Amino acid sequence: MPRYELSLILKAMQRPETAATLRRTIETLIERGAVVRGLESLGERTLPYKISKHNFRHTRGGYFLVDFHAAPKIFPAFLNHLERDVDVVRQTVLKKEIPITPSNCCGPPPAQTKDITTQPE
């Protein structure tokens, strides 16, 4: 399964309501077969611009990152669920690329070359 990162902006709420919203979101991911690897809180801050969502104008929000593995087929229903959630102001899912290092790349390591155009004096 590919690895993804969900960035969430939740409306400004007290800690228990925020925790309930995050729990609801992560449980929805798990119910659809995703494997959640991590949750990171980036804190609450002023939004860069006012966002209107569910008949309310938001000026502050809590920023969160969820790292998970999932099959691509779950996203239409999951994003629809997040769109209908009144506590979610904005959501974005990004696919995380796995960096290729020489240890997990096929083929021999690159050869070391020397510059032979200059002569020592």
In sequence order, what DSSP letters do the residues of 28-87 get, joined into one string? Answer: HHHHTT-EEEEEEEEEEEEEEEEEEETTEEEEEEEEEEEEEE--GGGHHHHHHHHHH-TT
Return the pLDDT at 112.
55
Average pLDDT by consecutive 10-residue portion of the chain (121 residues)? 94 95 95 95 94 92 95 93 94 84 60 50 52
Can you give the pLDDT at residue 1?
A: 86
Helix axes 75-84, 15-31, angle to 10 degrees: 160
> Whole-model pTM?
0.77
| Structure confidence at residue 117 (pLDDT) | 47
